[in-house]
Amino acid sequence: MPKMKTHKGAQKRFHITGGGKIMRVKVGKSHFRRRKKTSTKGLYDETIPLHPADAKRIKRVLPYR
């Protein structure tokens, strides 16, 4: 059976913790960033867990993570 390929776009956007949770970065940090306040841009730095409804699909495209 051949090896499965990792989806490179998903690999850049998600990472899996040691406990198996899939973490994602908040959207909107880079769009119009010059007009946003520094304190506002700091709100986008946090990584948050992925919604469980999307987790099955993302785990399928990241087979060896």
Considering the chain, what is the average pLDDT of its residues? 91
Q: What is the mean pLDDT of residues 13-42?
A: 90
Task: Tell me which DSSP letter residue 51 carries.
Answer: P
Q: Give every CB contact of residue 30 below 8 A, 6+ residues apart in sequence.
A: none
In the predicted structure, residue 32 carries a pLDDT above the cut 90: no
Q: Give every CB contact of residue 50 below 8 A, 6+ residues apart in sequence.
A: 14, 21, 22, 23, 24, 58
In the predicted structure, residue 33 carries a pLDDT above the cut 90: no
The pLDDT > 70 percentage for the chain reads: 100
Domains recognised in the chain with CATH numbers = 8-61 (4.10.410.60)
Q: Write phi, then psi, for 24 (nearest 5 degrees).
A: -130, 160
Please indicate, yes or no, whether the overall pTM of this predicted structure exceeds 0.85: no
Q: Can you say whether the dihedral through the CA atoms of 54, 59, 62, 65 is positive or negative?
A: positive
